[in-house]
Amino acid sequence: MNLRLIYHLEIAVSKVKQEIDLESRNSYPSIYLLESKSNEIIDLLKSDEYRTAFNFSLIYKREFECFREDLTGSLSHDYERKNKRYRSKWLLERDKLYQIIDALINHVK
């Protein structure tokens, strides 16, 4: 395994989680933050360096893409209307994203 890439991935993921945790403190956290952070990880996994080092990166890329597609459908309506249930749904989606991230990190190690 390429330790430099693993370290880089762990740093990138920890920054993503920090930003998401900060956003989760808001009463109406942004749906677009979850979407953009999943895009950041997708872009990282699409890079040539990661694709060649980790042949499974495409599997996780697809997981993040599915998450992103489901996210807009499940939350956008509630976000636009500022529904009370939005925050709890947002936190559930955040937890789904964290599960995918953690699975990726565990697979790499």
Q: Quick one: pLDDT at residue 1?
A: 55
Longest dimension (CA), the chain: 47
pTM (predicted TM-score)? 0.84
- The confidence score (pLDDT) of residue 106 equals 84
Q: Are 97 and 67 in contact (CB under 8 A)?
A: yes
Concatenated DSSP letters for the chain? --HHHHHHHHHHHHHHHHHHHHHTTSSS--HHHHHHHHHHHHHHHHSHHHHHH-TTHHHHHHHHHHHHHHHHHHHHHHHHHT-TTHHHHHHHHHHHHHHHHHHHHHHH-
pLDDT of residue 42: 85
Instruction: Show pLDDT as tens, one digit a residue, over the chain (109 residues).
Output: 578 888 888 999 999 999 999 999 998 898 889 999 999 988 888 887 777 777 666 778 888 888 888 887 778 777 777 787 888 889 999 999 999 899 888 887 7
